[in-house]
Structure 1
Amino acid sequence: MGLFRKKSQPAPDPVDRGRVMRLIQLGMAETDAGDRDLLDDEPSPEFLRAKAAFDAELRTATLAERQAAIDAIQRHGY
């Protein structure tokens, strides 16, 4: 008995839709600020603020939320 029992799968990480939307917005803002800096040698304060905000939000997100946001950002061409 139990030789062919399925192994239990770990419960998936919870996904907060509001956090994913915030990550998407911050990621797009970071990319837009970086695109405006293409001709400058040093990053602008606007880009540094956008990057810091995106990184801070990423640190508080679960793995599933990070993956959902990054997939959406890439799907939108950012």
Structure 2
Amino acid sequence: MRFMVIETFRNTAAVYARLAERGRMIPAGVSYVDSSVEEGGGRCFQLMECERRADLDPWIEAWADLVDFEVVPVTDSATAAARFKG
């Protein structure tokens, strides 16, 4: 499954310091696909792949002191178009 993970940083400088020190800290079974950062640096939009939503929990817990998370299951546009074709 694919998930759009919207991260809202409570302290952007601290987030990037930890990232530089420890890396993304993504658990086994979770694949980072891509990310984009809001112009002001306050939010990051990460596309992740894993079997189950719960696979993201260890990663979220590792960052929970600095970041608020919203996790949205997503699909690619071609799959959505086929699914909702009327």
Q: TM-score range by the shorter chain?
A: under 0.3
TM-score normalised by L of structure 1? 0.27
Q: Which has the larger strand fraction?
A: 2
Larger Rg: 1
TM-score normalised by L of structure 2? 0.25
Q: Which has the larger helix fraction?
A: 1
